[in-house]
Amino acid sequence: LTDICFVLSSFRYEDKTDWGGKIGWIYGSVTEDVVTGYRMHNRGWRSVYCATKRDAFRGTAPINLTDRLHQVLRWATGSGEIFFSRNNPLLATRRLKFLQRIAYLNVGFYPFTSLFLVTYCFLPALSLFSGQFIVQGLNVAFLFYLLIITLTLTFLSLLEVKWSGIGLKEWCGMNSSGSSADAVLENHEPLVQDFQVREQDFPCSSS
């Protein structure tokens, strides 16, 4: 028994086999868990989320900003590897369901969202230096788009509640500002309020 445990712990039983390459836990990627799940679903396998009363696994989470940035960089690197490899959902077989394809596309496209975030953070500074605001005036179209975005994020949050299995009251009490809809409203409230400030600070911009 000791010899068998020694062989298993050394992973030598995988030598010259397909384990880690074609079957089993897939190696060779920073986000190996996503690649493994993708390979399973791409072959038509079904997966079930199992939540036990006792914790089946425990791990560590980042405790400071540096560790958090390293974690995000690792995720972004792995997502980029998926997007530019044969594991791209666009190249998947017909066995991969439509919603699964969208979910894996979202993972692969994750690092590219940083471009939009950088632009979003840069525009306020550009407005201050140029005197031109990104939204020239409150109109029905702007409010309509804002409403659509808010309702969409609220709907996604409600889907998270349904899939997680917790009650709506519990979900609302987890974090007073944790929902996507709250984040959108908090980010856009100053945007709407700044119209009056813009008219006062940049009177020449309206001419």
pLDDT value, residue 99 = 86
Instruction: Classify residue 23 by its DSSP letter.
Output: B
Whole-angstrom distance, CA of residue 101 vs CA of residue 80: 16
Residues 68-76: what's their mean pLDDT? 88
Confidence of residue 1 (pLDDT cuts 50, 70, 90): low
Whole-angstrom distance, CA of residue 167 vs CA of residue 175: 14
Task: Reply yes or no on whether the pLDDT at 150 is more than 80.
Answer: yes
Instruction: Calculate what percentage of the chain has a pLDDT beyond 90.
Output: 4
Confidence of residue 138 (pLDDT cuts 50, 70, 90): confident
Confidence of residue 170 (pLDDT cuts 50, 70, 90): low
Does the predicted TM-score (pTM) go above 0.75?
no
> Which amino acid is located at 116 in the chain?
F
Q: What is the mean pLDDT of the chain?
A: 76
CB atoms within 10 A of CB 168: 10
| Residue labelled with tokens 């856009």 | 188
Higher pLDDT, 11 or 43: 43
Range of lowest pLDDT (32-36, 58-62, 74-78): 58-62
pLDDT in tens, 101-113: 988 998 888 888 8
pLDDT value, residue 195 = 44
pLDDT value, residue 148 = 94
From the number of C-beta atoms within 10 Å of its C-beta (0-12, 13-18, 19+), residue 55 rates as exposed
Whole-angstrom distance, CA of residue 203 vs CA of residue 207: 8
pLDDT value, residue 198 = 44
The SS3 of residue 51 is coil
Residue 42 and residue 96 in contact, taking contact as beta carbons nearer than 8 Å:
yes
Domain coordinates in residue numbering, the chain: 17-47+64-130, 138-206
Look at phi and psi of residue 188 and say left if phi exceeds 0, alpha if psi is from -120 to 50, else beta.
Answer: alpha
Q: In whole angstroms, what separates CA 88 from the centre of its chain?
A: 16
From the number of C-beta atoms within 10 Å of its C-beta (0-12, 13-18, 19+), residue 31 rates as buried
pLDDT value, residue 203 = 45
The SS3 of residue 134 is coil
Handedness of CA 176, 180, 184, 185 (dihedral sign): negative
How many CA atoms are closer than 13 Å to the CA of 204, on its beta-carbon side?
2
